[in-house]
Amino acid sequence: MTAAASNLNFEVLPDGRLANLADWDESVAHELAARDGLKLSADHWEVIQAMRDYYRSYNVSPVKKLLKRSLKQRTGSGRFDDARLAELFPGGVLVQGSKIAGIPIPMLDVELERSTYTGKAAPSRTHFTDSFTFEGETYRVTQLGNLLELHRWNERLAAFMAEREGIKLGDEHWEVLNFLRQFYFEYGITPMVRILMQHMAEELGPERASKAHLYQLFPKGPSRQGSRIAGLPEPQGCIDPDD
């Protein structure tokens, strides 16, 4: 059930989010903020625009650490720390901030794991599904082949999982896998392919982050296939081909 906003032509869901994200504009943001008892300041707008720019770039909302990184790049300072974001958005920047910015609330890895471990993958797929045995131990995976117990991953297991998918891991593969793991443990999510390419380009250079190079290494998707072999959850908002 939706409720119409007074004096403005948009609808909100029972939790206060926009029913149609395309209805968002600055007047809507002010109205949504006012309903939460907030008066938007310049700092509020800095955060809102950073969130919206990120969503426009990647079609996925930023988690807090990536939002803070984006704000630091935009402002040249680290003043938007956890305390400042909590002061600006007492209801939580990811929930309240996303609502006022007119973007979806970010899906976190725990939700991804819960949603992906259902049913079985198509039999034509080469990656492991449900479970598999390696060195006398059983490993459970989601229907997309991602480990459910991340702490059990090691390099031998990665090589075994890659071999199942027809990949013999070399130095260039490991560069990507290590980058994926570094990103995950820093930001708490596995990056979708566009985010992976941008961050790799910034740190390693455009040639090693090019789409052609990454897909040559991981033909079924550097984020989706790479995350399986790297022992990580499925990427948030992944746009790799459905394999």
Q: Are 106 and 96 in contact (CB under 8 A)?
A: no
Three-state DSSP at 3 gives strand
Assigned token pair, 44: 């509020």
Q: Are 220 and 240 in contact (CB under 8 A)?
A: yes
Catalytic-labelled residue, pool 217, 238, 240, 243: 238
238 part of the active site: yes
Identify the bridge partners of residue 134 per DSSP, sorted by sequence position.
Answer: 137
Q: Are 47 and 67 in contact (CB under 8 A)?
A: yes
Q: How far apart are CA 135 and CA 156, in angstroms?
A: 10
Cα→Cα distances 88→44, 45, 51, 85, 193, Å: 6, 10, 14, 5, 31
Main-chain phi, psi angles of 77, to 5 degrees:
-145, 165
Would you please indicate which residues are annotated as catalytic (active-site) residues?
Answer: 238
